[in-house]
Structure formats: C-alpha cells, structure tokens
Amino acid sequence: MTIIRHETGPRMSEANIFNGVIYLAGQIAEGATVREQTEGVLAEIDRLLTLCNSSKERILSAQIWLADINDFAEMNAAWDAWVPAGNTPARATGEAKLAAPKYRVEIIVTAAQNG
C-alpha cells in the first residue's frame, strides 16, 4: 500500500495517509493566550483534514499537550466550541515542555478519510 505525504519538509510531513487513516503532525499556533493558540491549532487541523479528504467529524483520536496543565479549562473552552457534538474523538491531555516557551498548546490528531 502507498503512503501519501502532504506538506513534506526535511524533518517531517504535516500529514500522512495510509490505508484511509490520516496522521497529522503535532500542530501549534501563534497567539497571546491559550485559547487563541488552541483556536489557531484547530483551524490548522481543519485545513489539513480538508486537504486529506476528511473533517473534524472523522477524527478518531486526539492528543493534547499543554505547557501548563493549569491551562486545561482555557484550552477546553476553545475545544468544546469546536468539537462536533456526537462525533467527539477519543482524547488524552497531558502536560509537557513544548518546542519553544511561546507555545502553550500542541494537538496531534488521527482521523479517517471520507469514504
């Protein structure tokens, strides 16, 4: 089976597809607040899923990393406004040091392509 890679750079691809399953790289975004960064990340996830013939309704799982777990409620405010009712994915949230101090949230998604 063929692996399809999107937005491939020297270190990583933003999205890979294998056998109808989409694997997104961890997404980050600029913003002054955790909510702004989360909203930016979710918009980028929407864009990549559209590129891969999918949508947020087809997300299978999400891993969310926060630089500070005390930002959990603020991140969830953006997540809850975005995630489709009745189509919520399996999800885990944890605290981790991210790639740079300015980043406060990173989200990794696995999704199914449209049939």
Rounded to two decimals, the pTM is 0.97
CA distance linking residue 104 with residue 66, whole number of Å: 6
Using CA atoms, how far residue 97 sits from 5, 22, 32, 94, 102, in Å, is 27, 25, 18, 10, 11
The pLDDT-based confidence of 36 (bands split at 50, 70, 90) is very high
pLDDT tens per residue across span 42-62: 999 999 999 999 999 999 999
Q: Which domains does the chain have, with CATH numbers?
A: 3-112 (3.30.1330.40)
Percentage of the chain beyond pLDDT 90 is 98
Distances (CA, A) of 70 to 29, 35, 95, 104: 19, 13, 9, 11
In this prediction, residues 78-87 reach a mean pLDDT of 97
pLDDT confidence of residue 115: 84
Query: Is the pLDDT confidence value at 105 over 90?
Result: yes
**How far is CA 38 from each of CA 1, 8, 11, 18, 42, rounded to the nearest angstrom?**
34, 23, 24, 27, 6
Residues 90-113 have a mean pLDDT of 98
